[in-house]
């Protein structure tokens, strides 16, 4: 196992494009870190710098405290799984799994033992004689993962390994990878644009946007205490609802419905007077009807989506759109007025200019 330290890491590509800005992270031994963010935000670039496949333009990268910027990929003792599985098409599953160990000159009987053990962990025992083309996407993915874990390295890097699988296979592989991580204990960095993968697999999540780290935290932290509008909107499904409004003497109006924010803003109400703020709440945190210690709003039901264990209600509050998550037996008729409450503890306020969260006087959701 290894620990990794990234200090002010930057990537400037030869064409001058600055893809990663001052990336700082300490990955502890055995930690499962997920880089998440929209396409082009610099996740893969950062991972490739860790792997030694891409030069680090500025900053320091350390493995177990030792400066590793100039180390080649092999010296870093890293295993990497790519989106394209990169299997050898002319080799059987057995040989694909064994190849890396053979190159290292490991004894044949040790290789056989490890191949069998790895195949067992990944449910590939019955497929060892097959060529990759005779496997399903999920099975190929398992071979790719197997080829990495068989080497027993301290650092495991994965770049969107599940993106070629269908939705069901993704869910299965998600839990399998988590389980393999538990068994191998390798420090893992996993890249995805899928926030559900990030939330379900990570010890800590690094949320990125346009080359900048937005927030690093546990799944609970980024969900309950997002630092800015971007993180709040990216983590959570359906995303957080946002309404922009101007604060006037401690209150905002949303389609002429006045919400007094003083209980949350306290002394800060004066500082934000006559400024635009963004009022945020998650679809799953609302309560239908009237509840104490909550803000009350009424919307017109535009669309409903029955999902089985819950339902999404799309509403209009004047010109503002919002989504509410409710129990299936609470699905309203279309076009009716739907009153709902947002408990104070689940309201987020953001400075509309900086888009940073405003610290509020309210019971903390996460301690
Ligand atoms: P995706 O999820 O689409 O893979 P990503 O977050 O992994 O996205 P990167 O592949 O790291 O994003 O790319 C970050 C930015 O760097 C993108 O804007 C990309 O166009 C740019 N980029 C990547 N490789 C190069 C290169 N060789 N030269 C110049 N720019 C590059």
- State residue 362's pLDDT score: 65
Output the domain CATH number for residue 303.
2.40.50.140
144 and 224 share one domain: yes
- Say if ligand 1 is within 6 A of residue 15 CB: yes
Please give the pLDDT value at position 104: 85
Q: Is there a single domain that holds both residue 199 and residue 258?
A: no
How many whole angstroms from 120 Cα to the centroid of ligand 1?
36
What's the rounded mean pLDDT across residues 191-216?
96
| CA–CA separation, 54 and 11 (whole Å) | 9
Q: Please tell me the residue having the least CA distance from ligand 1 atom 2.
A: 39
pLDDT digits (tens, 9 = 90+) for 222-252: 999 999 999 999 999 999 999 999 999 999 9
CA–CA separation, 277 vs 264, rounded Å?
Answer: 13
**Residues 61, 73: contact at Cβ < 8 Å?**
no
How far away, in angstroms, is 161 Cα from ligand 1 center?
17
Q: Does one domain contain both 308 and 269? A: yes
**The pLDDT of residue 270:** 92
Ligand 1 centroid to Cα of residue 42, in Å, is 6
CA angle 4/10/13 to nearest 5° reads 125
Together in a domain, 217 and 303: no
Task: Return the SS3 of 37.
Answer: coil
Q: Mean pLDDT over residues 43-61, rounded?
A: 96
**233, 253, 287 — which closes off a domain?**
233
Q: Are residues 319 and 180 in the same domain?
A: no
- Residue 227 shares a structural domain with residue 247: no
Helix (H, G, I), strand (E, B) or coil at 322: strand
Question: Looking at the structure, do residues 257 and 174 belong to the same domain, yes or no?
Answer: no
Q: CB of 104 closer than 6 A to ligand 1?
A: no
| Residue closest to 156 by CA, chosen among 76, 97, 78, 86 | 78
Place of tokens 């080497």: 151
Q: Looking at the DSSP assignment, which residues form a beta bridge with residue 287?
A: 341
Same domain, residue pair 330 and 274: yes
Same domain, yes or no: 103 and 215 = yes
Both 190 and 267 in one domain: the answer is no
Instruction: State whether 77 and 204 are in the same domain.
Output: yes
Q: Is the pLDDT of residue 280 over 50?
A: yes
State whether the beta carbon of 16 lies less than 6 angstroms from ligand 1: no
Residue with CA closest to ligand 1 atom 20: 40
Of residues 326 and 151, more confidence is placed in 326
Q: Hey, whose CA ends up nearest to atom 29 of ligand 1? A: 13
Question: How deeply is 95 buried, as exposed, middle or buried, from its count of CB atoms within 10 A (0-12, 13-18, 19+)?
Answer: middle
Per-residue pLDDT, averaged over 361-366, amounts to: 54
Stated pTM of the model: 0.91
Q: According to the model, what pLDDT value does residue 164 have?
A: 76
pLDDT in tens, 70-103: 999 888 988 888 777 788 999 999 999 999 899 8
d(CA 103, CA 48): 23
Tally of domains in the chain:
2
**Omega within 30 of 0 (cis) for the link into 238:** yes
Written as one string, the DSSP assignment of 144-157 is: HHHHHHTT--SEEE
Instruction: Let me know whether 223 and 250 are in one domain.
Output: no
Structural domain ending residue among the three candidates 233, 263, 295: 233
The pLDDT tens digits of the residues spanning 208-218 come to 999 999 999 99
Among 19, 43, 192, 209, say which to mutate for ligand 1: greatest number of ligand atoms within 8 Å of CB. Answer: 19
How far, in Å, is the centroid of ligand 1 from the Cα of 17? 9
**Dist. CA 7–CA 11, nearest whole Å:** 12
**Owning domain of residue 255:** 238-366
CATH of the domain at 203: 3.40.50.300
Q: Please identify, among 187, 210, 233, the residue that sits at the C-terminal boundary of a domain.
A: 233
């Amino acid at each position: 196992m290894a620990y990794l330290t990234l200090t002010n890491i930057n990537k400037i590509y030869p064409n001058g494009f600055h893809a990663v800005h001052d990336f700082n992270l300490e990955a502890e031994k055995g930690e499962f870190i997920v880089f998440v963010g929209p396409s082009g935000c610099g996740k893969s670039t950062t991972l490739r710098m860790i792997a030694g496949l891409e030069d680090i333009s500025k900053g320091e990268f350390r493995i177990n405290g030792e400066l590793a910027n100039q180390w080649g990929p092999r010296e870093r003792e890293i295993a990497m799984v790519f989106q394209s599985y990169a299997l050898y098409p002319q080799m059987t599953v057995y040989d694909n799994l064994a190849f890396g160990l053979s190159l290292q000159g490991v004894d044949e009987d040790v290789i056989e033992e490890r191949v069998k053990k790895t195949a067992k962990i990944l449910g590939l025992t019955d497929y060892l004689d097959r060529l990759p083309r005779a496997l399903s996407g999920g099975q190929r993915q398992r071979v790719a993962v197997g080829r990495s874990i068989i080497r027993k390295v301290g650092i495991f890097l994965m770049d969107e390994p599940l993106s070629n699988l269908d939705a069901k296979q993704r869910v299965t592989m998600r839990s399998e990878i988590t389980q393999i991580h538990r068994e191998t204990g390798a420090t893992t960095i996993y890249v995805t644009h899928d926030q559900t993968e990030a939330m379900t697999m990570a010890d800590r999540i690094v949320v990125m946007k346009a080359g900048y780290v937005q927030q690093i935290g546990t799944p609970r932290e980024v969900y309950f205490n997002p630092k800015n509008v971007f993180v709040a909107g990216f983590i959570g499904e359906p995303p957080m609802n946002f309404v922009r409004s101007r604060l006037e003497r401690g209150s905002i109006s949303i389609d002429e419905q006045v919400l007094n924010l003083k209980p949350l803003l306290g002394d800060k109400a004066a500082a934000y007077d006559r400024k635009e703020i963004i009022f945020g709440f998650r679809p799953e945190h609302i309560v239908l009807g009237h509840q104490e210690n909550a803000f009350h709003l009424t919307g017109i039901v535009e669309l409903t989506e029955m999902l089985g264990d819950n339902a999404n209600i799309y509403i209009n509050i004047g010109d503002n759109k919002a989504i509410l998550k409710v129990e299936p037996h609470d699905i309203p008729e279309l076009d009716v007025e739907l009153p709902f409450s947002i408990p104070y503890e689940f309201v987020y306020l953001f400075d509309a200019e900086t888009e940073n969260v405003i610290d509020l006087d309210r019971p903390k959701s996460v301690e």
